[in-house]
Structure 1
């Protein structure tokens, strides 16, 4: 079997494993195998093919990892609407206590809400911004 054929088989195997596992990084390694297959078609020796596969595949993994790390702007769990479905909901605050808390009726029970530090609390509609323990941190809606 020729070297390009072996590289194409390796590429196919990597893609097949990626489809079974859902690991996107394997596709990046598959790019390295494609680069080696193309180099083999151009007549490069095995050492060049292996170095090219390593550089392209490894480089693609590093670039993709850095890109994902830079784009992560997900809120912490207590303020993430994907984790806590209360985030973004509206509650009606009738009056605030002297300690900066209030009691509201929400989802069939009484909840203690609090406002952000430095904000002058006013009665009215508020949006749940975060869960702090068993209290709701709210912002004016």
Structure 2
């Protein structure tokens, strides 16, 4: 049996294990074994076969790590720049506003802003809207 057959046979075994586990790690190893098999078909030396196999594993694991990172949306919110209607101002400078059909707590971006006029959302901190007069 030719040497490349061993690489491809090992790749098929790992592919079968991947189908049983569904983790994609065995798939990376299977692809790496196939890369080494193709290198063998090109009459590459044994050391280079192992090196290419290891390189394919590292590349595949790097790709998996990037793909499995949890999605973290950027800090900018779709609410930023939207106008709100102020219902009531409290003595401490906070307000109760209506936005998207619900009442929200709100604070001014800076304490020296007047309490009259149109307000826009400049940021969202938890469930509190930060208001400003200029549309961001």
With normalisation by structure 1, the TM-score equals 0.55
Q: Once superposed, what is the RMSD of the aligned Cα atoms?
A: 4.2
Q: What is the rounded CA distance, in whole Å, between the counterparts of 2:30 and 2:15 in structure 1?
A: 7
Aligned to 2:40: 40
Superposed CA deviations along residues 90-130 of structure 1, whole A, max 9, x for unmatched, are 53236755644221134655321123358846632523732
Aligned to 2:73: 74
Question: Is the CA contact (8 Å cut-off) linking 1:96 and 1:123 kept in structure 2?
Answer: no
Structure with greater Cα Rg: 2
Instruction: Work out which of the residue numbers 120, 123, 128 in structure 2 matches 1:129.
Output: 123
Consecutive unaligned residues in structure 2, runs of 5 or more: none
Q: What secondary structure, in the 3-state scheme, does the structure 2 residue paired with 1:43 have? A: coil
> How many equivalent pairs are there?
128
Cα distance change on mapping 1:42 and 1:110 into 2, 3 Å:
closer
Q: What secondary structure, in the 3-state scheme, does the structure 2 residue paired with 1:49 have? A: helix
Aligned to 2:105: 112
Aligned to 2:94: 101
Q: What is the rounded CA distance, in whole Å, between the counterparts of 2:77 and 2:15 in structure 1?
A: 34
Aligned to 1:21: 22
With normalisation by structure 2, the TM-score equals 0.56
Cα distance change on mapping 1:138 and 1:125 into 2, 3 Å:
closer
Aligned to 1:84: none
